[in-house]
Every structure is written in C-alpha cells, then in structure tokens.
Amino acid sequence: MRRFFRIEHNGGPRYVIEEQGAWRLLDGDIFARYTAGEAIASTGHKLLAPVLPSKIVCVGLNYKDHAAEQNKPLPPEPLIFIKPSTSVIGPDQAIVLPEEIGRVDHEAECGVVIGKRATRVSQSEAMDYVLGIICVNDVTARELQNKGASYTRAKGFDTFAPIGPCIAQGLDYNSAGGLTVEGWVNGERRQASSTKELIFPIPMLIAYISANMTLLPGDIISTGTPAGIGPLHAGDTVTIKVEGAGELTNSVR
Ligand code: ZN
C-alpha cells in the first residue's frame, strides 16, 4: 500500500509518498509521472488538503441504515449532488458553523479520488480511473436540508468539505470485507459501517457519474454516509476514519 500526503514544505505545497511508514518527497506530477525523491521525517509537518478537486460529487442515501434514519425511501438509482471546490478544507482546519442556520451534522464518508480524465467509463474499466481512497466529511446543514433547501445550499458552505489526511492506494474496498468507515465526535464513535454496505458500489458510481459529467484528475466521488449522523457544536472535534486511509480530524467553531 502507498499513501500520498500533501504538506507545506519550504513555503510551498509538496506531495509526499509514504511507503512502509517512510516519507519521501514526490518529484513530478502525482497524476502523471513521478518518482520518490529526498527522504524526510514523517512528523512535524503541516498537512494540506491532499487534492484541490474541481468538484466533489456526493452520493445521497447510499446506505440502507442512513436512509431509514432519515425516513427516506431508497433511491432507485444514485442520488447525486455537488459540493463546490470552495467548501474544501484540509486536516486540522476548522469547520465554521454559519450563524442562524440551525443544526449542522457530520457525515463520515469514503471518498474516491479520480486519477485521470473520465468520460463515459464502463464499470469494468472504472477502477483504472481511481487514484486512491480519501476520508471525507460531508458536513450538512440538516435543518436547511429538511426545510427543503437544495442539497447544494445545505452542503455547500465554506469549510463544509474536510478531506484528508492522505490518498491511499492499493486498498481492497470492493472485497467482501470492505473498508470500515467511522465518524467520531469528541472521542466517541457515532458512525460505524463498511463500504461493503454501499447500495451502489464504487465502479457503478464511476460509470453512472461519468456518463453524466466528465470527472477530472483530483475530483472526488464521496460515496455516502452510514447511520449515526449527528449535530456538531462549536468546540467539538470531529474525526472521520476510513480503514487504511488514516484519520481526518477537524475542530468546529
Ligand atoms: Zn453525504
């Protein structure tokens, strides 16, 4: 397994390749050709959002237990919406609760980072277009959403798309076991499921979405959240964990 981090290094962003726990600076282009360069310490760096996606395509109601807790019927085909690039923040940055919009929830999700331009990709070739897996917190203004606001409005605020801490390559997310997906608030586990519970699995989502819109390198598909969503308050710390893809922690203010 290989993981990519993006860090602040000598005043600018740099990618790092992690293999067997050792870090090396990445020379070249993460989406094209690269080599592992100078070795550096794996601690003490400021972590940045691992990619700057042109869009995050989210999937709503993709776990049965979450659809049940929202009292919504299962969609016959994927329910997709977009979080704008301006909502992205990296690890350790603060989620900012806008004033007077009521309850705001965490949503722990397994994200898929697209590695190359994908238009009308078939399910069988879909995995060739994946760079790796990333933790996503699909932060949601639940009261606005339930009052009938569009998903874009309820989920598109600045800071409402924490991603990171890395992009993990070589994870077996389609196996019978799947990857565990967890959401923690203030050290308490609130969400726990697995990608094996996805109603629409990852290759199907890539085929479905790329038939609708071109996915660019760095774009993210966020595959939906399991049951256990709940409110965030100022002062909280929220952590999303996807097995093999690290832990994404953000404060709330
Ligand atoms: Zn979501």
* DSSP labels, 125-136: GGGGGEEEEEEE
Taking the centre of ligand 1 as the mean of its atom positions, its distance from the CA of residue 23, in whole angstroms, is: 32
Taking the centre of ligand 1 as the mean of its atom positions, its distance from the CA of residue 175, in whole angstroms, is: 22
Beta bridge partners of 185: 188, 238
Taking the centre of ligand 1 as the mean of its atom positions, its distance from the CA of residue 127, in whole angstroms, is: 22
Rounded average pLDDT over 110-114: 98
Return the half-sphere exposure (C-beta side, CA atoms, 13 A cut-off) of residue 42. Answer: 13
Taking the centre of ligand 1 as the mean of its atom positions, its distance from the CA of residue 226, in whole angstroms, is: 9
pTM value is: 0.97
Taking the centre of ligand 1 as the mean of its atom positions, its distance from the CA of residue 119, in whole angstroms, is: 23
Which CATH architecture is the domain 55-251 placed in? Alpha-Beta Complex (3.90)
What's the chain's average pLDDT?
96
- Taking a 5 Å cut-off on Cβ, the residues next to ion ligand 1 are 107, 138, 225
Write out pLDDT tens, residues 94-110: 999 999 899 999 999 99
pLDDT band with cut points at 50, 70 and 90 for residue 215: very high
Q: Where are the domains of the chain?
A: 2-40, 55-251
Write out pLDDT tens, residues 24-50: 999 999 999 999 999 999 999 999 999
Residue 222's pLDDT is: 98
Taking the centre of ligand 1 as the mean of its atom positions, its distance from the CA of residue 15, in whole angstroms, is: 27
Taking the centre of ligand 1 as the mean of its atom positions, its distance from the CA of residue 27, in whole angstroms, is: 34
Decide: 118 and 147 in contact? Cβ < 8 Å.
no
Write out pLDDT tens, residues 116-169: 999 999 999 999 999 999 999 999 999 999 998 899 999 999 999 999 999 999
Residue reference for tokens 């919504």: 72
To the nearest whole percent, how much of the chain has pLDDT over 70?
A: 100
Residue 70: pLDDT above 90? no
